[in-house]
């Protein structure tokens, strides 16, 4: 991609499972009354391909290209696919995710860090509801 929407941090083979995938969020709005976060991602098709190929534990979302030197500094937020609504714009190649049950404390953590981490398997289920975690 021409813009720096997707950054994959290089890792050594022994840390492959901890490999970081960092994605930029175009916009984010939090409604405290509804405990709802609306997150817009551009270049959605390209990002979904990168996510589905990602084999690391987490995905880090940053606000408008905020520089993250250590993804572990971003709070890890547990999100359940059933709490996410999607509005996909094929023409605009974007997706808006409405994530419910985000507490004000979680929103403050995200706002202060300008980033957050989500479990990779959860994100893959949001992209493709028929996807299931591979059996070991």
* pLDDT, tens only, 109-136: 999 999 999 999 989 888 887 777 665 5
DSSP designation for 134: P
Whole-number pLDDT of residue 49 = 93
Do residues 75 and 61 make contact, with C-beta atoms less than 8 angstroms apart? Answer: no
State the pairing for strand pair 27-31/84-89.
Answer: unpaired
Quick check: helix, strand or coil at residue 17? Answer: helix
Segment among 6-20, 33-47, 57-71, 81-95 with least mean pLDDT: 6-20
Asked if the model's pLDDT at residue 68 lies above 70, the reply is: yes
Asked if the model's pLDDT at residue 30 lies above 90, the reply is: yes
Confidence of residue 5 (pLDDT cuts 50, 70, 90): low
Confidence of residue 4 (pLDDT cuts 50, 70, 90): very low
How many whole angstroms separate alpha carbon 81 and alpha carbon 96?
14
Whole-number pLDDT of residue 134 = 64
Q: Give the HSE-up count for residue 76: Cα atoms under 13 Å, Cβ half-sphere.
A: 10
How many whole angstroms separate alpha carbon 104 and alpha carbon 126?
23
How many whole angstroms separate alpha carbon 68 and alpha carbon 90?
29
In the numeric block, the tokens 């984010």 are attached to 28
H helices of the chain, in order, are: 44-53, 104-113, 120-127
DSSP designation for 33: T
Whole-number pLDDT of residue 3 = 44
Asked if the model's pLDDT at residue 12 lies above 80, the reply is: no
How many whole angstroms separate alpha carbon 59 and alpha carbon 67?
15
Whole-number pLDDT of residue 135 = 58
């Amino acid at each position: 991609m021409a813009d720096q929407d997707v950054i994959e941090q290089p890792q050594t083979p022994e840390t492959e499972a901890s490999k970081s995938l960092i994605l930029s969020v175009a916009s984010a709005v939090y409604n405290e009354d509804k405990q709802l976060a609306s997150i817009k991602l551009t270049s959605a098709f390209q990002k979904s391909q990168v996510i589905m190929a990602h084999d690391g534990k987490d995905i880090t979302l940053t606000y408008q290209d905020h520089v993250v030197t250590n993804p572990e500094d971003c709070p890890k937020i547990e999100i359940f696919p059933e709490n996410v609504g999607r509005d996909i714009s094929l023409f605009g190649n974007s997706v808006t995710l409405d994530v419910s049950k985000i507490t004000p404390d979680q929103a403050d953590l995200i706002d202060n860090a300008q980033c957050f981490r989500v479990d990779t398997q959860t994100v893959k289920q949001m992209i493709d509801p028929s996807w299931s975690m591979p059996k070991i």
